Structure 1
Amino acid sequence: MEITFEKVTHSYDVNSPVANLGLDDVSLKIQDKKFTAIVGQTGSGKSTLVRHINALLKPTSGTITVGKRVITPETNNKNLKPLRKDVGMVFQFPESQLFEETVEKDIMFGPMNFGATQEEAKAAAEEMIKLVGMDTDYLQKSPFDLSGGQMRRVAIAGVLASRPETIILDEPTAGLDPVGRREIMDLFKGLNEDGRTIILITHNMDDVADYADEMAVMNHGKLVGSGKPFDVFNNQTLLDNDWLTLPKSAQFAQDLAKKGFAFSKLPITVTQLASEIKQQVR
């Protein structure tokens, strides 16, 4: 589903002395079946932005169009279940949302809440536990007897079990070791390649460079940059204003440039950096 923000403003604590803008006149198009990263410093409006996509927050002004569904300030909470089935959200530290006595029941909860039969939900639990890299033996275990990384995978399986078309990831690899982070990111990239729209909130610029097709940069509630990661990371205005930090490969390229290497554009991935160095050494 294509997602469009048109002049969206969101104010917290409207009509109070402490009112503040979470979003300020944001217009943005998130393309269908693409992997889009939303980045920015803490408090920049990233989470506020994505919570409008499934109407967890409503705009103070402007409109959000999600497929054929239009969300406006007047949108109420009736009939939002189809939207929230189509747009799944994996919150930061999603394992904190686990509550059932078994892994199977936790994964089954979402599908059954959206109308699946018990048999359909059981089948989904078995399929999704495998998809997140765990054996079906875990289904009968208590989620609270698992490691932190395993709990994270179970929580993700619970979101995927409802088969959302769009998956929003709010810092999904926070607290994971490098291997676990890569496995989780590879999982979502595979889902994207199978036709899902992925929206990633992250502070990890290497993940943006390695996985995203498009990115958007937020600062104090405003959209200050968007486009393909290679172009955005080479936008000097964003860097000069400290609205964006570089991936490690680009930072290393900057260090090499001080020692005589010449880059017309900063490489943003290890592969791009290695290719540039190889050509220059030759």
Structure 2
Amino acid sequence: MEITFEHVTHSYNPNSPTASLGLDDVSFKIQDKKFTAIVGQTGSGKSTLVRHINALLKPTSGTITVGDRVITPETNNKNLKPLRKQVGMVFQFPESQLFEDTVEKDIMFGPMNFGASADEAEAAAHKMIKLVGLDESLLEQSPFDLSGGQMRRVAIAGVLASDPETIILDEPTAGLDPVGRQEIMDLFKNLQQEGKTIILITHNMDDVANYAEEMAVIHRGKLIAQGVPQEVFNNQELLQDDLLTLPKSAAFAKELTEKGFSFEKLPITINELGTEIEQQLNGD
């Protein structure tokens, strides 16, 4: 489902001496069934923005439209369950939210909270534990007896068990090793290819380059750029002002330009970089 922000401003502690702007007149669209990355420096407003999508935060002014649901400053917390079932959120270090005495119960909690029967929730738990790459034998264990990586996967399974249409990921691979990070990112890319809308908050520009189809850059609460990653990462104004970090492949390509290589646009993935270098070495 398409998500639209129209002139959204969010003020923390409004009408007080400590008031500060989390978002400042933000307008943009997140396309249905696409993989969109939202990037920006720490404190830029990324998390503030996505918390408006399932009404964890309400705008001070402006509107957010999520499918057929409109969120305004007047929106209250009544009847938000359907929206929050549609929009699942995987917070940074989601394993910190585990609380049940078995893995199965933890994964079942979400579906049952949204009205599923115990049998339906149990079936979802068995399906999702396998989807996140864990063995069903872990369902009867305490989540607190698992490794950190396993706990992360259990927490993700709990979000997926409610079958949300849109999944928001707030630094979902923080603290994972490179193999674990790739496995988690591949999982969400597969879900997007199966029809989910994926929204990723990250500081890892390689993940943006390798997985995202669209990206938005937030700075001091303002949307300062949006587009396909290839175009945004080649926005010289953003790079000159240190508002965006390049993926490793693009940064290496930039170094190569000082050694005689020439790129019409900086390649942002390792495959693009390899192709460009091969063509130039072969004189193509």
Mapping 1:65-214, distance limit 5 Å: 65-214=65-214
Indicate whether 1:16 and 2:3 are aligned. no
CA distance, structure 1, for counterparts of residue 75 and residue 256 of structure 2: 53
Matched, 1:41 2:41: yes
Structure 1 letter corresponding to 2:43: G
Q: Deviations over 1:207-235 (max 9, x none)?
A: 00000000000000000000000000000
Residue identity opposite 1:224 in structure 2: I
* Deviation of 1:75 (Å): 0.2
Runs of 4+ in 1 over 3 A off after TM superposition: none
Deviations 1:27-86 (A, max 9, x none): 010000000000000000000000000000000000000000000000000000000000
Report the residue type matching 1:28 in the other structure.
F
Alignment of 1:233-252 (within 5 A): 233-252=233-252
Question: What value does the CA root-mean-square deviation take over the aligned residues?
Answer: 0.3
1:241 offset after TM fit, Å?
A: 1.2
Runs of at least 5 residues in structure 2 that lack an aligned partner in the other structure: none
Q: Which amino acid aligns with 1:227?
A: G
- What's the CA shift for 1:93? 0.1
Task: Find the aligned partners of 1:169 and 1:264 in 2 and give their Cα distance.
Answer: 33
The CA deviation at 1:92 is: 0.0
TM-score normalised to the size of structure 1?
1.00
Unaligned runs of 5+ in 1: none
**Cα separation, 2, equivalents of 1:215 and 1:238:** 14
Provide the aligned length of Structure 1 versus Structure 2: 282
Sequence identity (%): 79
1:271 and 2:271 are equivalent in the alignment = yes
CA distance in 2 between partners of 1:264 and 1:114 (Å): 51
> Are residue 5 (structure 1) and residue 5 (structure 2) matched?
yes
Alpha-carbon distance between aligned partners in 2 of 1:220 and 1:241, rounded to the nearest angstrom: 14
AA matched with 1:8: V
Residue 259 of structure 2: SS of its match in structure 1? coil
CA distance in 1 between partners of 2:16 and 2:207 (Å): 39
Deviations 1:217-272 (A, max 9, x none): 00000000000000000001111111100000000001111101011110000000
Deviation at 1:153, TM superposition (A): 0.0
1:140 aligned partner, one-letter code:
E
Give the structure-2-normalised TM-score. Answer: 0.99
